[in-house]
């Protein structure tokens, strides 16, 4: 089986961690006989420096022809003073739009060796394994009109969702729950927002198509509180763009380091996979970057784009074993652990890969 993977390192530590993911995938290829063909293109500030654009037409064309995409990170203070329309983040927003990446998946899992580093009590975070399914292309971030009026004294943003947009992300939530613990929590603000009332109606309609999944509804403020008081009570959370953005960032601190967290952005035909962390320009090039979020994003790619569940588990088990052995980068705090470099931790993970 041959798969074409586009690598978009981006900026800062993205250049380093994308290399870690490639090395891990090459090891998986050796073990399981799969063939991965890699092509690298630029995005974000690095692309702007080379071409004057954070995302070129050539990169878009290459991504559309790929089987999956791995992205490092974009942005940094170096580009704070360039025109807004060509800032690094515009490249990320544009690639999502061009590929119609409407579904963002963020798994939040508490690793036993890191539970003490969580801001929550260990008894609260232990056993937590959450998947947040966020709608990515609609809602307040994209609704029109958005403008300033009355000589700039009034600002207007519009929250718009169509039935089709809600149905496809809700279906993704249900399907994700079916392959996990069959519990879906739909988060909205139906007590005050008309868009949320439509959302809740559609969830109830769709529930009939997934009788094996237990569904409950939760207002976003209640969900935010429960994430920090009883995160283990969640399985899959499905929600709209703004709520998903906020809740997934809140949940990201539960594990003890944002450097551990992967994510996937999916369309009906392709997936883009990236760690949740940013470009961290303050540590770029120093060998301090945590590669595990990127490596776990590669595991998500194997699972969701290529249906290689065994290979995905092999990577995840290797990451967990490496942490249990005490190896970590400086962003993590492991009792009796050993701080190693980005390259060293990558090598340790590779050495811990076992065929299941």
CATH for 65: 3.40.718.10
More confident residue, 250 or 18: 18
**Which among 129, 141, 157, 175 is annotated as catalytic?**
141
Mean pLDDT of 349-355: 93
pLDDT at residue 333 greater than cutoff 80: no
pLDDT at residue 122 greater than cutoff 90: no
Report if residue 110 sits inside a domain: no
Report if residue 353 sits inside a domain: yes
**Dist CA 137 CA 203 (whole Å):** 18
Same structural domain, 164 and 228? yes
pLDDT at residue 121, as a whole number: 84
Q: Which of 106-115, 192-201, 258-267 has the highest mean pLDDT?
A: 192-201
Q: In what order do the strands lie in the sheet with 35-40?
A: 35-40, 2-10, 68-73, 271-275, 262-266, 103-109, 129-135, 236-239, 183-188, 214-219
pLDDT at residue 26, as a whole number: 97
Report if residue 114 sits inside a domain: no
Q: Which of 255, 276, 308 lies at the terminal end of a domain, its last residue? A: 255
CB atoms within 10 A of CB 117: 19
Q: Confirm whether 141 is a catalytic residue.
A: yes
Report if residue 112 sits inside a domain: no
Q: Which of 221, 240, 255 lies at the terminal end of a domain, its last residue? A: 255
Q: Confirm whether 129 is a catalytic residue.
A: no
**Which among 189, 235, 273, 304 is annotated as catalytic?**
189
pLDDT at residue 9 greater than cutoff 70: yes
Same structural domain, 199 and 216? yes
Mean pLDDT of 82-94: 92
CB atoms within 10 A of CB 257: 21
* Average predicted confidence (pLDDT) for the chain: 94
pLDDT at residue 162 greater than cutoff 90: yes
| 314-to-32, 107, 177 alpha-carbon distances in Å | 10, 17, 22
Mean pLDDT of 8-33: 96
Mean pLDDT of 96-100: 92
| 194-to-145, 189, 198, 199, 288 alpha-carbon distances in Å | 17, 9, 6, 9, 46
pLDDT at residue 298, as a whole number: 98
Mean pLDDT of 201-209: 98
**Dist CA 1 CA 29 (whole Å):** 10
Q: Confirm whether 221 is a catalytic residue.
A: yes
pLDDT at residue 334, as a whole number: 81
Q: How confident is the model at residue 1 (pLDDT cuts 50, 70, 90)?
A: low
Same structural domain, 251 and 269? no
**Dist CA 108 CA 87 (whole Å):** 29
CB atoms within 10 A of CB 197: 14
Q: How many domains does the chain have?
A: 2
Share of the chain above pLDDT 90, in %: 82
**Dist CA 76 CA 356 (whole Å):** 40
Q: Give the global pTM.
A: 0.90
More confident residue, 253 or 167: 167
Mean pLDDT of 120-149: 90
pLDDT at residue 6, as a whole number: 98
Q: Phi and psi (nearest 5°) for 87?
A: -65, 155
Same structural domain, 68 and 127? no
Q: Confirm whether 245 is a catalytic residue.
A: yes
**Which among 57, 209, 216, 221 is annotated as catalytic?**
221
The β-bridge partners of 15 are: none
* Inter-residue contact 316 to 296 (CB < 8 Å): yes
**Dist CA 299 CA 283 (whole Å):** 25
Query: What's the longest Cα–Cα distance across the chain?
Result: 65
pLDDT at residue 100 greater than cutoff 90: yes
pLDDT at residue 113 greater than cutoff 90: no
**Which among 11, 188, 235, 245 is annotated as catalytic?**
245
**Dist CA 250 CA 119 (whole Å):** 11
Q: Which of 255, 270, 291 lies at the terminal end of a domain, its last residue? A: 255
**Dist CA 233 CA 185 (whole Å):** 10
Range of the domain at 301: 1-105+261-356
Report if residue 113 sits inside a domain: no
pLDDT at residue 339, as a whole number: 94
pLDDT at residue 254, as a whole number: 85
Mean pLDDT of 151-177: 96
């Amino acid at each position: 089986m041959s798969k074409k993977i586009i690598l978009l390192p981006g900026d800062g530590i993205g250049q380093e961690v994308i290399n870690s993911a490639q090395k891990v995938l090459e090891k998986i290829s050796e073990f399981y006989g799969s063939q991965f063909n890699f092509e690298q293109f630029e995005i974000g500030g690095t692309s702007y420096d080379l071409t004057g654009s954070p995302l070129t037409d050539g990169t878009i064309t290459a991504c559309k022809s790929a089987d999956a995409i791995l992205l490092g990170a974009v942005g940094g203070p170096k580009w704070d003073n360039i025109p807004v329309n060509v800032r690094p983040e515009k490249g990320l927003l544009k690639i999502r739009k061009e590929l119609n990446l409407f579904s963002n998946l963020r798994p939040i899992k508490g690793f036993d060796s890191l539970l003490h580093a969580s801001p929550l009590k260990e008894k609260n975070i232990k056993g937590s394994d959450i998947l947040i399914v966020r709608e990515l292309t609609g809602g307040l971030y994209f609704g029109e009109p958005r403008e300033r009026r009355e000589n700039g004294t009034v600002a207007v943003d519009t929250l718009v969702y169509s039935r089709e947009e809600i149905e496809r992300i809700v279906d993704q939530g249900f399907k994700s729950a079916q392959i996990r613990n069959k519990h879906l929590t739909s988060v909205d603000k139906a007590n005050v927002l008309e868009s949320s009332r439509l959302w809740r109606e559609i969830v109830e309609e769709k529930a009939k198509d997934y009788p094996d999944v237990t569904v409950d509804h939760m207002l976003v403020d209640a969900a935010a509180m429960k994430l920090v008081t009883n995160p283990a009570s969640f399985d899959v959370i499905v929600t709209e763009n703004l709520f998903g953005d906020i809740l997934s960032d809140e949940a990201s601190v539960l594990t003890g380091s944002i450097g551990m967290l992967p994510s996937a952005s999916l369309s009906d035909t392709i997936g883009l996979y990236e760690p949740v962390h940013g470009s961290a320009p303050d540590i770029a090039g120093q060998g301090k970057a945590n590669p595990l979020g990127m490596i776990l994003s590669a595991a998500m790619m194997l699972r969701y784009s290529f249906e290689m569940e065994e290979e995905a588990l092999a990577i995840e088990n290797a990451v967990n074993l490496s942490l249990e052995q005490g190896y970590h980068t400086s962003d993590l705090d492991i009792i009796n652990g050993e701080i190693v470099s980005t390259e060293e931790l990558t090598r340790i993970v590779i050495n811990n890969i076992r065929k299941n």
